[in-house]
Structure 1
Amino acid sequence: MRPTLRQLQYFVAVAEAGAFGPAAKTLHVTQPSLSKQIAVLEAELGLALFQRTSRRVALTREGDSLLDAARKTLDAARTFRAEAKLLAGDARVRLQAGVLPSVGAYFMPSFRERLQTRLPDVRISLTEGPSTELTSRLNSGDLDFVIASASDAAGLERLPLFDETLWFCSHPDDPLMASDAPCPLSELCGRQILTLSFDFHLARIVRDLAAKAGATISPEYSGASLDAIRQLAVSGDGIAILPSLYALGEAIRDPSLRVRRIDDPAAIHPVYLYWRSSEPNTSFYKRLAEEMIAEKTNIRMSRIPRFQF
């Protein structure tokens, strides 16, 4: 009997998801592959870990008894790898980071430049996605840290990085685009709002803003592309609400793009740094957060002369 760490990871993922399909999606494997590995694990243990029905997968009594031990084993393995890197003098040289799309394209390039002088030994590889997916992959050990919006994922530490203001764009002839001044939320009453799919926390914020304004969410788009909703809006298909990193970055790149800030206390997209609670090197992530906050401040200060915050 020799269960692998991967099999234990699969066991925990299925137990937490309560189904093979969502667990396979979280793990980025096919459902048949996941089912096969769970079957192999059960055969090696000589135990049934799950009760399978047509609608749901539930832990057996034995599976429930072993779940906590599996989680502790995975945490211990992550700690072992981290400490081994420290002893080898390769402390977090290469980090796998999960980031929101707007952060990946409009924050990480300048942040990487900053790291070249502040933390020259650190190299960061990027994976983009919605917050829930990224924090799940962080918990499973696929990522070292995540820059994401609000998440209720257990087993993670979190530090606030910055709040993105929310901006919007529309067709150039839309009366709302006649001014560059911050726009009261009430002026969006009766309008169709374009946003991302509800996998993204940003879309939930936008939904609440639309309800508060008396606007509606457009059915024209559901996906992960800020470019798509911006282009739809500029073509006259609604109003796209965009986080400041993306909105102002695109307005600088394309001077023909007009954007206005939404003047409302709720028009904020919070961004956090997440890492696993089991990580032994907490001070490193606190230092990383400090550098991120400083870089975001630099970005904002460079944009103040042009945009009305």
Structure 2
Amino acid sequence: MHGVLLLDKPLGLSSNQALQKAKWLLRAEKAGHTGTLDPLATGVLPLCFGAATKFSQLHLDADKTYETTVRLGVKTRTGDAEGEVIETRPVTCSVGQVVEVLDRFTGPIEQVPPMHSALKKDGKPLYEYARDGETVEREARHVVIHELELLDMQLQGEAPQLRLRVRCSKGTYIRTLGEDIGEALGCGGHLIMLRRTATGPFDESQCTTLEALEADSEAQRVARLLPVDILLGGHTPVALDAEGAGRFLSGVRRRGNWPDQGQVAVFGPGPGAESSENEPSPRPVLLGSGHTQGGELIPGRLLSPIEIQQILETAT
């Protein structure tokens, strides 16, 4: 089983729980996800199966887009609705102050990672320290908020809140962003809703749900998988002939007329494939990734001959 499933992760499941359920439904042996979503978050979660797991890191680094609601005037221990309330304050900010604060948090900013996160300190996840009532020193991280759009605002009433759309770089904690915005407004705040609407080139319109996957036949589930090379959309394609493909898959550098490229996706005929004048050339298949420098194609992450053969058999 090789490919990518774009899942709309449901509320209440961890990313790993959602992955394990999809893995079981697809009867896949090897699986991973590209970027964790909290149980209280929903939305786009690309799941990688088989050979696709070799390229999942590429989408951990992708920009992401979220829609979130920040409840103003109430701080919680975890920065979201799951944690206990630790402080309440009146909300006295104006519309103008909200606009000014959002402008302040747009662009390059620094964030101190939350204690309730999977980030590790001395080999131990921060959330484990938090569970023991400990707070440890964390270094601020540089992140970029590319866009911070105010979708809706309610500053009066029993539940004052801001609804925001955030497009941000990797490593951004939206819970921390919500808390920091609340602090800048003088009232504190926490997230009561978080949905990832896009990651890299993938958005929520392309996603399927676990319920739909459960209702599918086995063949329909497999048909929902996108090809492995969908993860290499930003790579320059390079095509090799049968001899070149065989050497590339052995990790041997190839010489050619290629300009320098930092990321290339390499395609060629499958292992053992040969073409002749009377037979059409074998259909190209992804062989792996690499880069080109000084007229050389330098292998990076490679698919195994078995993986390539299985992909070809599934596609026929």
Q: Quick check: which one's strand share is greater? A: 2
